[in-house]
Structures are given as C-alpha cells and as structure tokens.
Amino acid sequence: MKKYIGLSIVILVGLLLVMPAHAQEDLEVVAPAGAVEFSYKYLDANKLLVSAADGEGNPLRDLTGEDFVLMRGGKQAQILSAEPLETSKDVSLNIVMVVDNSASMRRRNAIQPIIRAMENLYAIIRPIDNITVVVFSDRDTMAFGDYNLHVRMKQSNQIEELRDFIRESFDAGLTNKTVVYEGMLAGLSVLHGLPEDTNKFMVVFTDGEDINSAFRGPVVEKAAEGLANFEAYAIDYMPRSGTDPFLRTFSESHGGRIWKATAAEDLVPIFQAVMSKLLYRYVVTYRFLYPPSGTLALAPAVVNVEEITTIDSAPLLNYIYFDTGQSAIPERYVRFRGQDQTAAFDSAELRSAQEKYLNVLNIVGRRLTAFPTANIRIVGCNGDMGEEKGRIDLSRARAESVKAYLQYIWGIDPARMTVEARNLPEVPSSRGTPEGRQENQRVEIHADRDEILDVVTSTYAEARMDAEALQVQPRIVSEHGVYSWKLTISGDGSPIHSMTGSDTLAETLPLPADKFTPLNIASYKQLTAEIEVEDMEGQFYTAASDPLTVNFLQREERRARNLGYKVQEKYALILFDFNSDAIKARNEVIVRQIVARIDTLPDVSVNIVGHTDNIGKEEYNLDLSERRARAVFDQISAVRGDAAGEAFKFSGVGPFDPLFTNDLPENRALNRTVTITLLYEQKE
C-alpha cells in the first residue's frame, strides 16, 4: 500500500475579551437580514462581538448599527456603533499556525500555492496581534504539558520574520512525517494558556491522513475538553472523496465547519474564505436608555434633641501599666515636659473616664500639691513570666520612673514618696492569658489620704434625642443593576458626611452613630440626604430626601421659659478585683456619698448597671456583672435603711455592652465596674 505524506496547517486565533460584571441571560440579539449563520459573544457590559454569514457561509459585509437589534425585557437598546473587527483597536488577535512541512507537498507541487495562501493570513495581521507559527521537525521535540511533540516554533508579529520562517521550513526544514494530531495538540496547549474568557479559533489544513503522530484523535478530543469560547474549522486537501471524518466531527462539534479542497489552485480562495470567516465580524456597542429611578427618605422626619447637664464622677484608677520588659512610662499617658506646663492643668476640664485615667499622674501630682501633708507608696510589679520572671529590678525601675515624673515635673518632695518593688501585684490578674499577664506589668499608687485617689468630677453638657438612630431609606429601582452609588448627608445645606458603595443598595442605611451624635445633630436646624446611582449601563440617577427637622431645646431656653432642665449624674465604681464582686473600702465611701446625694433629690431615678471585661466565658461574666450590680444595690438599700423602691433598678450586661474597648489593660480595669446613673429635673 502506498504511504501518502501530506502537508497540514493548523491556525489558532484568540480574541482577548473582558466578560461583563452583570448577567446577560436576558439579552436578545436579533440576526441581521440575510444572516443564515449567526452568533455573538460578550466583550464587556455593553459590547458584543457578532458573526453573521449567508447560506454559503460567506460573511455579511458592510453592516451598520441599523442592521442590529438588541432587546431586553421587551425594551430595545440604542446601537452606538457596529465596527468591523478588522478596524478595531481594542480586540487583539492571537493566532497560532501549525504548518506540516512534510516532503509530500513538493511532490504535489503545492508548496508555492500554500505559501501564496498564507498571504491571506498575513494580510489580517495588525500591530496589536500576536502570531505563533509551529512546524514539524524530524530532529527536535518541544514539551507541551505532558506531551513531547515533534515541532519547532516561531513567535512574532513581524510579517517578514514569519515569511522567512515558513520559507525555511519548506526548504531545508522539510520533514518525512505528517503529525497533524501532534500539531493540533501543540495548538490546543497554546489555547489553554490563554485566559478563559478569550475567544479561540482553530483552523486545520491537511493534505494527507495522519499516520505518524504518537497520539491519535481521542487524545486530541480530550485535550480540547474544557476549552472555553472555542471554535474549530478545517480544510481537507486529501486526495480522496469526502471529508476526513475526524476533522469534520471535531470542527462541527466545536461550532465550526469544514471545507474541501480538490486541487492546489483551490487553496488561495479557500484560505480567503477562512480568513474572512475569522476577521469579518462586528464589534457592536449598545446601551439601554432606561436609567434608575426611585425615592430617598431620612427617618425619622423630626428629631427632638434635649440638652442635659451631666455631672460625671469617675473613679481614679491608681495603676500605670507598662510594656513587656520596659520601665519607661508608655507614650499614651499624658505627661508635661516641664513644671511651667502644670499650672494650667485642671482635672475638672477632663470629660471621659479614659481621658481622666490617661492624666492619672497629673491628677495625683495636682492633689499632692494641694495636700502637702499627704504621702504615697509607689509599688512596682512585673508579670513574673518569660523575660519578666523574677525581675524585681524591673519592678523597681518602673516605680522609680513614676516617682521621677512626680518629683521633677510636679515638684513633689521625694521624702513624701516611698518606692517598693515586688514580682506579681498583691491582687494579680490571671496569669493564664496574655491579657492577664499584661495587667500585672504595672505600678500601683497608694495614698495615706483619701483625697489623693478620690473620684474625679467634671460637669459638662450632653444631648439626648428621641430617636435611637438616624436612617436613610433608599427606594431605588435599577433595571440593569447598581454599579456604584454615593450618598451625601448635608446639614443646613453644607455636606457633612458621605458614604459610597459598589453593590445593591439596602433598603435601610443607618448613619454612623459616632458621627451623628445628639450633640452633633443639634448644631443643625435641618438635615438632608442626596444619592447618586450609576447602573451597569453607565446611566446616572440622583434622588434627594425631604428635610429632616431638628428641634434642639437648650438648657438656657428652658430656664427662660421657667421650665426645669434635665440633669444626669454618672458614677462608676471600679477596682472590683479580677473575678470579684466584693465592694472594696474606697467604693464603700463612694456609695455612701451617692446615697447622701440621692436623699437630697426629689423624683430621682437610679439605674445601676454591672459590667465586666472580656476575659473568660461570656455566661460567667454576665453572672458576675449581675452579682456586682446586686451588691451595689444591696449596699445602697442598707445605707438608706429601707427598700430602694421602684425608682431603683439594677442589671448586669457582662462583656456585651463594654464602656471601653478591651484592647488595653486600663480599659479592661475600667470595664470591671458598676455604673450608677441618677436622672432628675433641676428647677431654679
């Protein structure tokens, strides 16, 4: 039997695409008039790549935007442009050509016809395109994944380089074997290296049956599995009637077709048809002219804000915490650089318990100045684990740092300050957790007069509003989905806050409580909201809310109207030891002061709330906080000598509503507390 050796060419084309971010299932594309073969693929959110051909498979030429109709939900899109792919500067071609340069092409006098046919491919190459040419080789192999294939390769977008490579392959590079399947495997390997959303086209040209490849057709089919956006075409130039069954099945199963060439002179026109099939497509750009719509509201429509005089009595936490292995006072504590700065210090101007605590050294310094006969003990401690194990020297150095600040900045006589050093504190925190070990790295200040470590009291104005929170309620309908939105809140016409997003709008957007505090809101007469929405089609819509009215009733206004104004007094009992509900001596004094204050106030309500830090199990901490609140409630009742009455309420919240974040040891200590709030109306 005569062995037939032929030439095979495999051309693979990839179009780099970006898939849209939103779904396209509802889009209907109507084929242009005269189109028998019609297909399209998405380039992005508002752009398609369209292929249209007549009954003979010839591409429809000179189509314009008027030839295309796009519908969605019964609504027709506006066609912005229909640009031929050959003139597009946005969609690049990645072409892989596999050329079977076997010697049989010379015997059939087909070398020059196929070289001329290749000119049709070169004619469509643009500077943005990338071309790879693969030829067969008797001497070399190249690895493609798990395959070692008898091929050589040239990558270039310079036409002359490609021409030279092809000519050399048909001159000194002729081979004695035809390995079409190996060429296809090489091409499929290249295609698998392209992004998944890249369009891919394969054109197989063969003039003889492949009997030399190390792999057969099923291996090629397997290699094509999972290849997305893939179309295959074939040109059969074998000297037998009919088309090759494998190539016909392969091309048709991958959305393409096969041509039959019976003579060398057929190659040029067939290649023209193939290149036209690949190149003569249209980039159709469109948009739907249905912008978003809807309403925007601020809730509630009216907010009443009332000024409240707050008398805040915060206990003085007499601990200074140190970093592991360090004796320098941490930077977060407020310290003065010289004695000249101390004269203006007034603890009554400090507001929150945290602000008061961070000034603990200055408060102690001021009080030691005010009570010149008072003395203090400064006790340095360490964690007694790891690098601090047994470090009495570190404990002493920490105490000396505190003493030095009070001596040189506040001018306190060193004879009034006794320094002691020990390992763990007398009442340590748990050593089984990092937080507990951190809390043991401290200096404790003890005084022989209660005034030195007494509570720190300040008076200031706060505000309360009759709404728990402010909300924005967007009711936006966007047919194409929301791409982005920007919400702007204005006070009396000036922007004060903005929020942005890139997803679907919730029906309720709460405004951040830390920015829209009652006192901040009270500085405006009206609040308004405006939202700008962009949909997936690039269309914009703006909606504005009706004004939200702010009614602010200030203390002076109530006085002028001979009305009482509300006053709240806040007390905190800290220094509950770790895991303890026992009320210590300092707190007993504070409780007696609170009871004496209550007895002077008519119609006062008393709210007692227990808190804990976040160390340990939540259920246990919740019970501990309730026991702490109950202990204070019982002591108030005992001091008063009768039942507290309905105006007195107590509860425990454990770690669930912390007064301060639990990230620092002082915050955890401040959270081991019971707060007592007195609320009454003051009339003058």
Does the pTM surpass 0.85? The reply is no
Judge if 531 and 611 occupy the same domain.
no
The dihedral built from the CA positions of residue 87, 197, 478 and 500, taken in this order, carries a sign that is negative
Do 432 and 466 lie in one domain? The reply is no
Whether 537 and 401 share a structural domain: no
How many domains would you assign to the chain? 4
Max mean pLDDT among 77-81, 243-247, 364-368 falls in 364-368
Does 233 share its domain with 364? Answer: no
Average the pLDDT over 193-222 and give the result. 86
The model's pLDDT over 644-683, given as tens digits with 9 standing for 90+, comes to: 667 888 999 988 888 888 889 988 888 888 888 888 776 6
pLDDT computed for residue 576 by the predictor: 66
Write the DSSP string, 26-95: TEEEEPPTT-SEEEEEEEETTEEEEEEE-TTSPBPPS--GGG-EEEETTEEPEEEEEEEGGG-SS--EEE
pLDDT at 558: 47
For residue 208, list its beta bridge partners.
Answer: none
CATH of the domain at 610: 3.30.1330.60
**Claim to verify: residue 472 and residue 445 sit in the same structural domain:** no
User: Is pLDDT at 191 greater than 70 in this prediction?
Assistant: yes
pLDDT tens digits along 179-188: 889 988 998 9
- Identify the sign of the CA torsion 170, 173, 177, 179: negative
Burial of 158 (0-12, 13-18, 19+ CB in 10 A): exposed
DSSP 388: G
pLDDT band, very low/low/confident/very high, at 3 (cuts 50, 70, 90): very low
The answer to whether the beta carbons of residues 495 and 531 sit under 8 Å apart is no
Tokens standing for residue 558: 């109530």
Per-residue model confidence as pLDDT tens digits over 608-633: 999 988 888 899 999 999 998 898 88
Residue-number span of the structural domain to which 283 is assigned: 8-16+87-287
The whole-number pLDDT of residue 423 equals: 96
The answer to whether residues 499 and 644 belong to one domain is no
Residue 71 lies in a domain: no
**Domain end marker among 519, 553, 587:** 553
Distance CA 179, CA 200 (A): 22
* Distance (Å, whole) CA 107 – CA 307: 103
216 and 165 both lie in a single domain = yes
Q: Provide mean pLDDT across the span 336-340.
A: 94
128 shares a domain with 95:
yes
Q: Examine residue 483 and state whether it is found in any structural domain, yes or no.
A: yes
- Range with the largest mean pLDDT of 390-399, 570-579, 627-636: 390-399
Of the candidates 523, 553, 583, which is a domain's last residue? 553
Say if residue 68's pLDDT is above 90: yes
pLDDT of residue 24: 57
CA distance 608 to 680: 15
Query: What does the alpha-carbon distance between residue 419 and residue 424 come to, in Å, rounded to a whole number?
Result: 15
Asked if residue 218 belongs to a domain, the reply is yes
Pairing of strands 442-447, 293-299: unpaired
pLDDT for 208: 78
The predicted structure's pLDDT at residue 14: 39
Assign residue 529 the CATH number of its domain. 2.60.40.10
Tokens in use for 45?
Answer: 């959110």
Q: Is residue 226 part of a domain?
A: yes
Tell me, yes or no, whether 472 and 575 share the same domain: no
As a whole number, mean pLDDT of residues 475-500 equals 92
What number is the average pLDDT over the span 399-405? 97
Residue carrying the six token digits 């200055």: 362
Q: Residue 130, SS3?
A: strand
pLDDT attached to residue 17: 39
Are 506 and 450 contained in the same domain?
Answer: no
Q: What's the confidence (pLDDT) of residue 684?
A: 57
| Residue 578 included in any domain | yes
Interval 300-324: pLDDT, tens: 999 988 877 777 888 888 999 999 9
Q: How confident is the model at residue 560 (pLDDT cuts 50, 70, 90)?
A: very low
Bridge partners, residue 379, by sequence: 420, 444
Residues 633 and 549 in one domain: no
Mean pLDDT of 355-382: 96
Residue that is last in its domain, among 407, 438, 454: 454
Whether 522 maps to a domain, the answer reads yes
Q: Tell me whether the omega of the peptide bond preceding residue 495 falls within 30 degrees of 0, making it cis.
A: no
Among 91-105, 473-487, 519-533, the minimum mean pLDDT is found in 91-105
Query: What is the average per-residue pLDDT within 230-238?
Result: 87
* 3-class SS letters over 183-203: HHHHHHHHHHCCCCCCEEEEE
Residue 255 has pLDDT above 90, yes or no: no
Tell me how far CA of residue 39 lies from CA of 13, 59, 293, in angstroms.
17, 12, 34
> What is the pLDDT averaged over residues 482-496?
94
| Between 646 and 166, residue with greater pLDDT | 166
Predicted local confidence at residue 327, as pLDDT? 96
Q: Do 301 and 333 fall into the same domain?
A: no
Q: In this model, does residue 575 exceed pLDDT 60?
A: no
CA distance 245 to 255: 16
Q: Range with the lowest mean pLDDT among 37-41, 188-192, 577-581, 669-673?
A: 577-581
Answer whether residue 345 is part of any domain: yes
Q: How far apart are CA 544 and CA 530, in angstroms?
A: 4
Least confident of 120-129, 348-357, 419-428: 120-129
Q: What is the CATH number of the domain that holds 146?
A: 3.40.50.410
- Average pLDDT for 52-68: 88
Asked whether residue 399 is assigned to any structural domain, the reply reads: yes
pLDDT averaged over the chain? 85
